[in-house]
Chains A and B, each alone.
Chain A
Amino acid sequence: MSEHRLPLRLPGPLHDLFRPPATPGVLGVFAHLDATVDAIQRLQAGAYQSLTVYSPVPRHELEDVLAQPVSPVRMWTLIGGIAGCAFGAWLTLYMSYDWPIVVGGKPIGSIPPYVVIMFEMTVLFGALSTIIGILFNAAHAARRLGTIAWDPRFTNDKFGVFVPCGADKAGAVEKLLLGAGAEEVRRA
C-alpha cells in the first residue's frame, strides 16, 4: 500500500531514506483489540519479536503487551529545555554588559527580570526539540522497519499486526494470526 506516502517524487538519497526497500512478511487485519493482543502474545511465544502493530488510537493494552522502552523523546525535551534556559541567560546577560546602561536603578545584569526570558526560552527550545525528537525517532524507526505492508483501515477502525518473515515461515504465521481472530491476512 502506498496511500500513506507523500505525493512527492523524492530525489535519490532522500528516496532511499524515506522509502526504504520492501520487507517481506505477513500482515494481519483485526477488528478487535483483544484479538490483536492475543495474536501478539502468540507471536511472542513463537519467538516472533520484531512485530509492527498498527492501531487507530494509542492503547495501553498494546503498550503493555509490546513492553516497549520509554521513548527517548524525553531526553530531547530535557536537553532542549536546558539549552533554552542557558541561551536565555546568555542572551540577557551578554547583551546587558555589551551595552551597559543603568535602567531604573537596577544592576546591569539584573537576574530577576531575566528569569522571564530564561523561562520563555526554556519552554520554546524544549517544545521545538520535542517536536524534532518525535520526527527524528519516528523517521528512524520507519527507516529501521523498511517498507512494510499497511492498510488504510488502520487509521479508522481496524488494528493490524505485521510480522516480518521469509516465505518459509509465512504459512505458519498466517495460521497463527487467523487462529487469534484476524479478519484478513495477506503476504507482502
Chain B
Amino acid sequence: MAQPSGRVTYDFVTRTIARTLGNPGKGYFLLLGAAVTLLAIGIICLLYLLRYGLGLAGYSHPVYWAVFITCFVFWVGIAHSGTLISAILFLFRSGWRTAIYRTAEAMTVFAVMTAALFPLIHIGRQWYFYWTLPYPNERGLWPNFKSPLIWDEFAIGTYFTVSTVFLILGLVPDIAAVRDVASGWRKKLYQLTALGWRGTNEEWRHFTRGYLYLAALATPLVLSVHSVVSWDFAMAIVPGWHATIFAPYFVAGAIYSGCAMVISLLVPIRKLFHLEELITAHHFENLAKLCLLTGSIVGYAYLCEYFVAWFGGNAHERAAFWYRAFGPFWWATWTMIICNAFLPQLLWFKKIRTNITGLFVISIFVNVGMWFERFVIIVVSLAGEPFERWSNATYNPTWADWGIMAGSFGWFFMWFLLFVKNFPAVSITEVKEVLPPPTKGRPAEAHAR
C-alpha cells in the first residue's frame, strides 16, 4: 500500500492540510483573478447570445450541434475520473488514491456543474429549460422517455447529485479535523459544516458502511453516465455516430481525459500548497499508468472505427471517415489522434511517468486532444454527413462560441480554486488511514519513516 513520504504522523497530516486553508497569497489571487476574468468574458458573450439569439454562434446547416455540445461532452468526460478514483479505486482498496481523491472528486462536481450549463445554452431559449422535466402541465404532455436526450438528463442529474453527496460525506470528518485546529471565521464555518462530528465509534460505524454503499452505487453510475452520453450520438444514424463501440469508447475516453485533468490540477496545487510530502511521484506515476491504459483503449477505438469504415463496405461510413481524416477538418482529426493515441505512448517509460513536469505537459496535450476528439465526433461527423453532401457544409466557430467556451474554463477554475482554499483538498482521514497507527512499540514520533 502506498504511503506518503517523509516524517508523516497523524498530527503532521492534519497540520499540513490545515495550513493550505490559511490566508491566500498573491499566486492564488492571480489564478483566481484569471479564472474570474475568463468567466466574465463568457458571461458577456452569453448575454449577447441571449439578446441576439443562436445566430451569433457558428451554426450552419447541417451542423447544429457544435462547440456547445462539444464542451458539454468534454466537461462530462472530465468529471469521470473523479468518481473512478474516489469510488472504484475505493472498492479495490487502492491505498494510493487517498492523497489525490478529494481533488479528483471536487473536480468531478465542478466539471458536471460546468457541463450542465451547455445544454441550457444550446437550447437557445433557456427560460423554457423546464420543458424537458417530467412535471404536470396544462397540456398534459410528458417527456419522451425513448429519447436518449431525456436519459441523459436523468443520468447527468443523478451523477451530479450522487457525486456531490459523496464529496460532502467524505468531507465531514476532515472538516471536523480542521475545525479543531482552526480559529476565527473559519472555525465558525467548519463548526457549521462539520455537522457536529466527533469521531465516535457510532459515527464511524454508520459512516464507513454508508460510504461503502455510496461507492458501490457510484461505480456503475460512472460507467452508465458516459455510456448514456455516447448514446446521444450512437442512437442516431449519422455515420461516425452510429457505432456499437461508442459506450465503452466514451467511458474509456472520459476516464482518460479526467485523469489527465487531475494531473493538470494536482501539479500546481502540490506546488502552491507545498504538499510534496503527501502527494508524491508515486501518485503521479499511477495516474500516468491509468492514462496509458485508457489512452491505449481510446487509440484502439480510433483504429476500430477506421477499420470498420474500410472493411464494413458501407459507402456512407467510408466517405464519412475519409472526410474526417482528409477533409477540411483534417487538422482537428490529426490533433486528436496525435495528442490522444500517440503522445501518451511515451508513458511506457518510467522516466517520463515519474517526471512531474513532463507529465504536466503531456496532460495538457491530452486535454486539448480530448476536446478535439469531441469536436471531431460531433462537428466533423455532421459537416461530413454523406446524406447531406448537397449542402456542401462548412463550419466556423465564432467569437461567441470561443468566448463561452473560455467562460466555462473560468467557471470551473473559479469554483475549484475557491474549494481548495476553503476546504481540505487532500483527505485528512484517508491519508491517516494508510499510515501505521501510533502504538506503544511505535509511538507517533517514531512511526514517521
Contacts and interface: CB of A to CB of B under 8 A. Distances in A.
A155 B207 contact: no
Interface in A108-143: 110, 113-114, 116-117, 119-121, 123-124, 126-128, 130-131, 133-135, 137-138, 141-142
B102 to A, nearest CB: 15
A95 B145 contact: yes
B202 A141 contact: yes
Contacts of B433: 57-58
B165 A127 contact: yes
Nearest to B202: A141
B342 interface: no
Given A74-B213, A142-B202, A120 B154 contact: yes
Contacts of B439: 32-35
A1 B228 CA distance: 50
Contacts of B432: 56-57
Q: Which of B173, B201, B429 has the most CB of A within 10 A?
A: B201
A131 B158 contact: no
B205 A113 contact: no
B180 A123 contact: no
Interface string B263-301: 000000000000000000000000000000000000000
A131 B210 contact: yes
A148 B199 CA distance: 13
Contacts of A128: 161, 165
A131 B207 CA distance: 9
Interface residues of B, number: 68
B443 interface: yes
Contacts, number: 215
A131 B155 CA distance: 19
B328 interface: no
Interface string A27-49: 00001111100000000000000
A120 B221 CA distance: 8
A9 to B, nearest CB: 13
A34 B201 CA distance: 16
Contacts of A3: 179-180, 191
Interface in B4-40: 9-11, 14
B1 to A, nearest CB: 14
Interface of B is mostly: helix
A60 B432 CA distance: 14
A156 B192 contact: no
B208 A58 contact: yes
A168 interface: no
A6 interface: yes
A169 to B, nearest CB: 21
Closest 5 CB pairs of A and B: A95-B142, A157-B10, A141-B202, A152-B180, A71-B209
Interface of A: 3-8, 18, 31-35, 51-59, 61-63, 66, 68, 70-71, 73-74, 77, 81, 91-92, 95-96, 98-99, 103-104, 106, 110, 113-114, 116-117, 119-121, 123-124, 126-128, 130-131, 133-135, 137-138, 141-142, 145, 150, 152-157, 181
Given A99-B142, A142-B203, 19 more contacts: A4-B191, A32-B438, A33-B439, A54-B201, A55-B199, A56-B199, A58-B208, A96-B142, A104-B146, A117-B150, A117-B151, A123-B162, A123-B220, A126-B217, A134-B210, A142-B196, A154-B199, A155-B180, A156-B10
